[in-house]
Amino acid sequence: MNFGTFPVLQTERFLLRQMSVEDTPAVFEIFSDADVTKDMGEDPFKSIEQAEDLIHFMNNLFIENKAIRWGIINKEDNTIIGTCGYNGWEIHRGSRGEIAYDLGKKYWRKGYMTEILKSLISFGFETMGLYRIEAFTNVDATPSINLLKKAGFNQDGVLRGYSFSHGDYVDNLCFSLLKSEWK
């Protein structure tokens, strides 16, 4: 999959675009919150440099054609409120991609990610040509589990010891949505 230039997506309330160093303070605010990072397996950011490194890392993954991660911009005030995208994909063998997302805590439970997820799913099936979109959550990540189910994802099962989180191996739930199930 080669996109050429970084694709920009829009929903009614949000612009999804490539992040830049100008987004560093907002990214730091989001990822320095322990509640936001608890299900990521990472400790909260302690320095602004960590946020800048994350932006560079995500942008380099796009350049290397390994992943795509958008900054979620609230159109109303041009504020970055989170990130979302595909952590990776396999086009030639299975045509599947792994979706992921995060929001700053003050933006939780407002329906924002439901709106954004629709755009990500559409991009995956229509632009990337995926047949299957996967998502992985910690077993106790109830809001994320509910979001995925609301978006039409099915729970495939439990992946025992699937990820390393805060010094220990933890189980994850695997969810998937097939193109033929998407409405």
pLDDT tens-digit profile, the chain (183 residues): 677 899 999 999 999 999 999 999 999 999 999 899 888 878 899 999 999 999 999 999 999 999 999 999 999 999 999 999 999 998 876 699 999 999 999 999 999 999 999 999 999 999 999 999 999 999 999 999 999 999 999 999 999 999 888 788 999 999 999 999 997
DSSP assignment string, 8-61: -EE-SSEEEE---GGGHHHHHHHHT-HHHHTTTTSPPP-SHHHHHHHHHHHHHH
Q: Supply the pTM of this predicted model.
A: 0.93
Q: For residue 147, what is the enclosing H or E element? A: helix 142-150
Nearest to 129 by CA among 182, 93, 91: 91
